[in-house]
Amino acid sequence: MQKNRSPTPTPQYISTCIDAQWFSDGRGVVTIHSDHTIQVCISPTNNFENFYTRRWVKNQSMMAGMVVPGTTSILLSCKNMPLQMYNLPLDSALNGNLPQSYETPSTYLPSATFTYNTTFRVHNEAFSPLFSIISHPFEQSRFYTGTNKARIDTFDMQHKDPVRTWEPRPKRRRGVGHVSALSTCKADPSVLYAGTSQHAVFHVDQRTKDMDYMVSCSNGVAQILQSDNANYLYLIPKRFCDDNQTIKVWDLRKDDFVAKLHLPMTKSSNKELKMKNSKCSMNSLHGLLVGSPFDSSYIYKWDKIVVETGGVNAYSEEQNFPTDIIHYQDKFDLQDENLYTRIIETNPKNNHMAFICCTEKYRTGYKSVLKDKEIIGGKFTRSQPQRSIFFQF
């Protein structure tokens, strides 16, 4: 007699927040999710006690995005598609004309208003995806994009073709991956810093054609943050795990690493957790804010004076550990005890407010279940829906 076997567990799809960006006036946040949705939270009064939520669905997988400064438009890079601009219909909400319901059902994103000629790969007849997009710090009509093989393009909002392109030398191009992080220099806007998904960090002087290799980071770079005095770069790794708990600090004057910021772990920390592509915030008032990938609902904070001195705290023996640890679960009475901070984004008009996107423990692996003396194997994921919080410091 043949026994009935239980079905193999099927993978559970988990929606993750890819990116979160504020509007330039600080009255709303745009979030891009892996389930092909874009969500906007708007508060015309800027207090965010009551806010209006709008959600759109895109029929392609989104890789990166950028809110166009001074507008309600957004640039989106989708898989196998060129870079496109979309206008989010939010003018009435920004003017204070909120609907009776603070949350509307999902609708499809309107048609693109402009398309840019990004790199087209002839061998497979597909467009190269853009993994990072940032705006020019002063010229709002210009922006930069990063794609495969560490290529950087600069575009004008009103022109389809790139204005200029930088690529590393052929010997540096192999094995560097794609440009996963871009940052402009605060002291000199003509200088760019680019971090790749593999190990390389590049220096780009827009007045020349050179793209110089700076340093290697073994775990790749997810984000490049710069101190306000423009002396230090804080390289956020693409992955935090039990064997990688540091943020490296690069001194631009010495061209060398000067410190490592250590993320503390307690006895209750989850060492199996691997947080990828987390987004941190450099706050001009509160310093560096990093979400803890190990402990529940924690934010690590390095004060501004520590950030401006390259991560060294003159008042503490443990100089590279956070100067403060914020536990926001108690303040918001969250029921879930396994929330981990994935994204922190500071309001550009209010340094005391930040948008926090948190998620439960995320783990992927192979699970074996012993049932009726038979081993049933299957890939599994476990997570709870993400939660968004407007946090007041």
Three-class secondary structure of residue 91 per DSSP: helix
Within 13 Å of residue 101, how many CA atoms lie on the same side as its CB? 4
DSSP 3-21: PPPPPPPPPPP---EEEEE
Unique residue bearing structure tokens 């904070």? 301
The predicted pLDDT at position 73 comes to: 93
- Cα-flanking dihedrals φ and ψ of residue 329, to 5°? -65, -40
Task: Tell me the CA distances in angstroms from 69 to 66, 111, 136, 145, 303, one per residue in order.
Answer: 9, 20, 10, 15, 28
The predicted pLDDT at position 43 comes to: 78
The predicted pLDDT at position 376 comes to: 30
393: DSSP letter: -
Rounded CA Rg of the chain: 22
The predicted pLDDT at position 127 comes to: 82
Cβ atoms 346, 281 nearer than 8 A: yes
The pTM of the full predicted model, rounded to 2 decimals, is 0.85
Cβ atoms 33, 18 nearer than 8 A: yes
pLDDT along the chain (393 residues), means of 10: 48 70 91 89 74 86 92 91 90 56 70 87 71 92 92 93 89 80 91 92 91 87 94 90 81 91 69 69 93 79 92 63 82 59 90 83 38 29 55 81
Could you tell me the two tokens for 94? Answer: 């920004």
Sort strands 246-251 and 256-262 into parallel, antiparallel or unpaired.
antiparallel
Cβ atoms 144, 182 nearer than 8 A: yes
The predicted pLDDT at position 365 comes to: 38
Sort strands 107-108 and 52-57 into parallel, antiparallel or unpaired.
parallel
- Cα-flanking dihedrals φ and ψ of residue 150, to 5°? 60, 35
Task: Pick one of 3.40.50.2300, 3.40.50.1110, 2.130.10.10, 2.130.10.30 as the CATH number of 17-392.
Answer: 2.130.10.10
